[in-house]
Amino acid sequence: MRNIKIFDTTLRDGEQAPKCGMHLSEKIEMARALERLKVDVIEAGFAICSKGDFESVQTIAGAIKDCQVASLARCVKADIDSAYEAVKAAVAPRIHVFLATSPIHMQYKLKMSEERVLETVKEMVSYAKSKVSDIEFSAEDATRSEPEFLVKVIKTAIAAGAKTINIPDTVGYITPGEMGELIRYLKSSVPELDGVDLSVHCHNDLGMAVANSLAAVAAGATQVECTLNGIGERAGNAALEEIVMCIDTRREMFNARTRIQTNEIYRASKLLYNILGIQVPLNKPIVGVNAFAHEAGIHQHGVIANRLTYEIMTPESIGLPSNRMAFGKHSGRHAVEKRLEELGYKLSQEELNEFFESFKALADKKKVINDSDLEALLKHKAAPFKEQEYRLDRFTINSGNYVTSNAVVRLISGDETFEEVAIGDGPVDAAFKAIDKIVKVVPHSLDDYYIQSVTEGNDALGEVVVKIKTADGVVTGRGLSTDIIEASILAYINGLNKLLAY
């Protein structure tokens, strides 16, 4: 079978989407999850874009050992130099250069003739090749380019040293049938593609990113560029988990496979949703809450008789735990540690000690703790913003439909204690205003706020996510408690701590 490479751009194309920004520590955590997934290439960022992007690409390049690490670069020497400096310490560095090739982009964005585009591709791919051996070239907006000119561009890039040629559907314009035809046309028109990876990068503006990617694989593409959960610009990118599970489930039809460890998909997907503070859509393929749920009687009967009647893949294949265990305040450390390992989490002794303290605190509030509670506690482990970290000491709320809500909040920072009182439009608003009197950060506003229950029941854990907006972007804060007011306060403090760390 053909091996299809998975090029993951969650940390570059995905992270640049509105409200999808990540802190350096979160990017590193996500990169390690992608490494456990065994993606072939991690595109860690756009090195020249900012000091923060350069630092994250450089850090990830030095930390990741089982994947290639790439940085994006325009066909500009300064971009290529920055990309090289960022990825040079990687086990297998790649520089990914791109230049637009469609008539509309060349005329209105680049203001270049076809001849000048070809000269630039030759010059800049050659220059990148002088830095590292593995160069990928992308013809931006390839699916709206003239096919004959696209052939010339690809031949030029390969002659200059490109080992991977990427065909992006930059604006999500193409259809699956057209994509298949384009890939077959390029393979037949460019004999030089033998021995070179032919890749696709599809956007989801018309909802066909995954279908277009799979059509390309069926037509002979050997690499797919995608993101976890399909995050990305506008309507997003092709979703990694959907592409991988489709190839895995229909392996004989595609005569292809990937090296992805599919039982890591669920864990990686949940981690990303948590980092971004995004709720998983109920009907999201593969990882949604309802993806393996059966409510209709006829479906339930079929699954009981034989799971294959209504399940074309198993929950276990993506890493969903098959058995559920309940814990309580009498549960021991060893049993909890063993269950965490079964769920795919290996903690150091220090991390386990910290986790077990959180577990015991929760056990005093809840009679039964299940897998969802354990994973929620793991997600909300102590944030790495300890240098300027404020911690909640206590709070008192007075609220009702005939009184003005007021809050008294006491925070601890280092050896100091701060206490403030404020009134507001409800208990949460009052608490946030009291916190703002204590924590002095750049001008900001509450951009989004939502609550969800982690588990069922009156004593369910409540998870609160807040989005705090500043002139430089948006940060996400998260809080977890059986008390939604406390969870809200914890989430707001978590977000402000991130602003202080920035």
Give the model's pLDDT for residue 377: 83
Q: How far apart are CA 446 and CA 304, in angstroms?
A: 47
Specify the pLDDT at position 322: 59
Q: pLDDT band for position 360 (50/70/90)?
A: confident
Q: How confident is the model at residue 293 (pLDDT cuts 50, 70, 90)?
A: low
Q: What are the DSSP calls for 3-53, one per residue?
A: EPEEEE-IIIIITTSTT----HHHHHHHHHHHHHHT-SEEEEE-GGG-HHH
CATH number assigned to the domain with residue range 391-501, chosen from the 4 options 2.60.40.180, 3.40.1440.10, 3.30.160.270, 2.60.40.3710: 3.30.160.270
The beta-carbon contacts of 79-84 under 8 Å, at least 24 apart in sequence, are 79/47, 79/48, 80/124, 80/127, 80/128, 80/131, 81/131, 82/47, 82/48, 82/54, 83/47, 83/48, 83/57, 83/128, 83/131, 84/128, 84/131, 84/132
The answer on pLDDT for 300 being more than 50 is no
Q: Which helix (H) or strand (E) holds 378?
A: helix 371-379
Is the pLDDT at 453 greater than 90? The verdict is no
CA angle 34, 167, 146 (to 5 degrees): 165
Q: Where are the domains of the chain?
A: 2-276, 291-320, 321-381, 391-501
Q: What mean pLDDT comes out for the span 408-427?
A: 95
DSSP 145: S
CATH number given to 2-276: 3.20.20.70
Q: Report the pLDDT averaged over residues 344-371.
A: 83
Q: Mean pLDDT lowest for which of 151-165, 203-217, 336-350, 457-471?
A: 336-350
Backbone angles phi, psi at 194, to 5 degrees: -60, 125
Order the strands of the 403-413 sheet from edge to edge.
391-400, 403-413, 416-424
**CA-wise closest residue to 197 among 5, 38, 41, 2:** 5
pLDDT at 20 over 70: yes
Q: What pLDDT, on the 0 to 100 scale, is given for residue 42?
A: 98
Kindly tell me if the per-residue pLDDT of 184 is higher than 50: yes
Q: Give me Rg for the CA atoms of the chain.
A: 25
pLDDT value at position 306? 62
Cα 119 to Cα 113: distance, rounded to the nearest angstrom: 10
User: Would the pLDDT of 415 be above 70?
Assistant: yes
List residues bridging with 468 in a β-sheet: 446, 475
In the block, residue with structure tokens 């051996």: 133
pLDDT at 91: 97
First to last CA, the chain: 47
Q: Read off the pLDDT of each residue in 225-247 and give the average, rounded to a whole number.
A: 97
Query: What does the pLDDT read at residue 341?
Result: 80
Range among 259-263, 314-318, 320-324 with highest mean pLDDT value: 259-263
* Pairing of β 197-202 and β 462-470: unpaired
> Which residues face 408 on adjacent strands?
396, 421
177: exposed, middle or buried (Cβ count in 10 Å: 0-12, 13-18, 19+): exposed
Say if residues 219 and 199 touch (Cβ distance below 8 Å).
no
For residues 201 and 389, give the distance between their C-alpha atoms in angstroms, rounded to a whole number. Answer: 40
The confidence score (pLDDT) of residue 313 equals 87
Q: Is the pTM of this model over 0.75?
A: yes
31-64 pLDDT, tens digit each: 999 999 999 999 999 999 999 899 999 999 999 9
Given this model, what pLDDT does residue 304 score?
A: 53
Token digits of residue 381:
């482990």
Where does the pLDDT of residue 365 fall: very low under 50, low under 70, confident under 90, or very high at 90 and above? confident
> In percent, how much of the chain has pLDDT > 90?
68
For residues 278-298, average pLDDT? 76
Q: How far apart are CA 164 and CA 125, in angstroms?
A: 11
pLDDT digits (tens, 9 = 90+) for 74-127: 999 999 999 999 999 999 999 999 999 999 999 999 999 999 999 999 999 999
Distance, CA of 168 to CA of 144 (rounded, Å): 10
Percentage of the chain modeled with pLDDT above 70: 94
Is 168 or 291 the better-scoring residue by pLDDT? Answer: 168
pLDDT higher than threshold 60 for residue 155: yes
What is the band of 386 on the pLDDT scale with cuts at 50, 70, 90? Answer: very low
Higher per-residue pLDDT: 295 or 161:
161
